[in-house]
Structure 1
Amino acid sequence: MFGFLGNGKSSFINTCKYVWDEGEFINHTGASGDHGGHTLMRIAYPLTKTITLVDNRGCAKLNSFETGELYAQLANLLPLNDQVEWLKGSQLVEKIKQTERYVRASDFIFPVLVHSVKMSLTPEEINIFRRLLPNARDITGIFPIVVLTHKTKGNVAEQEKIFRNLGVERIFSFENYTNRDHIKTRGRHEDVLKFLLEVIKDVQFQIAQTREPERDLLLRKKMLYNLISQQTEEEQRQKLEERKLRQKMGQLRRPGGRGYDNE
């Protein structure tokens, strides 16, 4: 799972486990429901013997710090049940080297973007997803499924349209089960089961292809390092342009400069 702070990732994991386990509702993830984004680690919650739901620290801006580490997670280069630190550049590369012995190359990562319909997307955020989603597909081999939470609290159709325009193939909308609202309904249960079925179908399709886990891990690492390099170059270019702009504005404010008011 990945997405912005407080958009319902932890609650969605609770919902999936509640539907699958068929027992009493348990707040496995400690979800608070106050949109505060309390998860600071990437934590694994087993659903079956072979399927694990992974909660994640929410992103504040999806800037280069956050997307760099997110790409490393999707590439299966960082271990589960570890602190999410939002490192980038050489620091992120060093962390990958230090923790790679704890990663299992055979693990298959399935990307799920969780977004609340209560949170309207700005043009800047849409542009971020326009870059992030194809990169997630290139890394994992799967275009992320989008899960829209709080579906009765906002304009679901508008949010679905935005994500479909970004190339998303499968979108599911949910009202999560919570501590305060966990009366079982057929609709909610079926929606969750349909989501899990689509995930399983995608995984089965992928593993039917020729896979060499160790080789694939090295290819993903190479891809990640290229993305990190591109992000670093883009940041340096932006800083240079900002510095030039500040210098230009400083020149315009000097006596005798263009636009300076001598009166």
Structure 2
Amino acid sequence: MQTIPEMTEHIKSFSLNNQGFSRVLIQLFGFLGHGKSSFINTCKYVLDDTEYKTYADVKNNDGGNTTARITYPLTDTLTLVDNRGCAIMNGYETGEIFAQLGNLLPLDQEVEWSKDLKLVDRIVAAERFVQSTDFIFPIFVYSVKKGLSFDEVPEIKELLTTARNLTGICPVVILTHKTHSNLRDVQAKFEDMDVERIFALENFTPEDHLKTRGKHEDVLKIFLEVIKDVKFRMERFPDPDGERAKRKQFVLRFIYEMELKKKEEEMEKRRRDEERQRNQARASSQSQASDQSSSGCILQ
């Protein structure tokens, strides 16, 4: 097994060898307050091997403090990308995530939850700012402390499956707060979602950044696996422009189907409302008729 210095050197020296791509953007995504920014600070601390610094803003109450898609270079080749966490995984927020994973939106800008077809407009406007030579690698961050209900599993599984189909890479799942009692339960649920790689770790924090071998190895092992997946994918799909065109088509189709589904739901809601109003009017009319009939009988 490699030592920590050997693992670190392997990661820092990794290059793409002019395979059509210039860098790897490791795109983090997930819910609000699950430790994405803390994970970035932890990775910088481990790979830079200097004093602990707060690079990505962290909110102490786990409510999520990131509102923009911000880049944090780790090496000459690997760059972490923080992201605004989702409150819920509705169509607008997942559409934003897929546009980012498709490398269709610019970096270092505020994240919007674009309604209607505004996301399409933003994708078109971003054409001249994004680089086809950026290789996107998806990492889903989830806090063990939050727990994971069975009701949430189908929603997350669909998100991860779509991210895999879009990028061609099974998203790596990072479970933060590994010492929490929920770890085994949460890990088992992600395994049931057919997630290939699940890593659990404790992030370093401003309050607790004592360097330990275990924490260092947990982080380094993640990047060693990321590098293996990147190499595997690049050997089989070496055309950045062609890959990005496919991802764009995928995301635009997703947005179109999302809008179509929304309109169908609105039409169905309108139909139910109209049906309910007709039933109420019918019931009211029958009630009035019954009252009039009763009054007539009394008068007689």
State the TM-score, normalizing by the size of structure 2: 0.83
Query: Shift of the alpha carbon at 1:11?
Result: 0.0
Q: Distance in 1 between matches of 2:181 and 2:274?
A: 45
Moved more, 211-220 or 122-131: 122-131
User: How many residues are matched?
Assistant: 263
1:15 aligns with 2:38: no
Q: 8 Å contact 2:103–2:130 — kept in the other structure?
A: yes
Residue matched to 1:117 = 144
Residue matched to 1:34 = 61
Shift of the 235–122 alpha-carbon distance from structure 1 to 2, 3 Å rule, reads: farther
Instruction: Name which of 143, 147, 162 aligns with 2:189.
Output: 162
Q: Distance in 1 between matches of 2:210 and 2:177?
A: 16
Residue matched to 1:82 = 109
Residue matched to 1:185 = 212
Shift of the 182–227 alpha-carbon distance from structure 1 to 2, 3 Å rule, reads: same
Residue matched to 2:134 = 107
Deviations 1:103-150 (A, max 9, x none): 110111000000101113344432221221111011111011110111
Q: Which amino acid aligns with 1:148?
A: L
Q: Distance in 1 between matches of 2:123 and 2:238?
A: 22
Q: 8 Å contact 1:151–1:174 — kept in the other structure?
A: yes
Corresponding residue SS for 1:110: strand
Deviations 1:8-67 (A, max 9, x none): 000001111111111101111121232121101000000000000010000011111101
Q: Which amino acid aligns with 2:203?
A: N
Residue matched to 2:241 = 214
Q: Distance in 2 between matches of 1:60 and 1:199?
A: 27
Query: Shift of the alpha carbon at 1:201?
Result: 0.6
Q: Distance in 1 between matches of 2:38 and 2:200?
A: 13
Query: Shift of the alpha carbon at 1:90?
Result: 1.9
Q: Which amino acid aligns with 1:241?
A: E
Q: 8 Å contact 1:41–1:81 — kept in the other structure?
A: yes
Corresponding residue SS for 1:111: strand
Q: Which amino acid aligns with 2:147?
A: S
Instruction: Name which of 233, 239, 243 aligns with 2:266.
Output: 239
Q: Distance in 2 between matches of 1:62 and 1:13?
A: 22
Residue matched to 2:18 = none
Q: Distance in 1 between matches of 2:40 and 2:235?
A: 27
* 1:124-203 paired onto structure 2 within 5 Å: 124-203=151-230
Query: Shift of the alpha carbon at 1:89?
Result: 4.2
Residue matched to 1:95 = 122
Q: Which amino acid aligns with 2:236?
A: Q
Shift of the 218–89 alpha-carbon distance from structure 1 to 2, 3 Å rule, reads: farther
Q: Which runs of 5+ in 2 are unaligned?
A: 1-27, 292-300
State the TM-score, normalizing by the size of structure 1: 0.94
Shift of the 102–147 alpha-carbon distance from structure 1 to 2, 3 Å rule, reads: same
Q: 8 Å contact 2:175–2:200 — kept in the other structure?
A: yes
Q: Which amino acid aligns with 2:67?
A: L
Corresponding residue SS for 2:75: coil
Deviations 1:125-181 (A, max 9, x none): 322212211110111110111101112234111111111111211101111100001
Shift of the 90–120 alpha-carbon distance from structure 1 to 2, 3 Å rule, reads: same
Q: Distance in 1 between matches of 2:122 and 2:260?
A: 20
Residue matched to 1:5 = 32
Q: Distance in 2 between matches of 1:158 and 1:245?
A: 40
* 1:50-69 paired onto structure 2 within 5 Å: 50-69=77-96
Corresponding residue SS for 1:105: coil
Larger radius of gyration: 2
Q: Distance in 1 between matches of 2:151 and 2:274?
A: 26
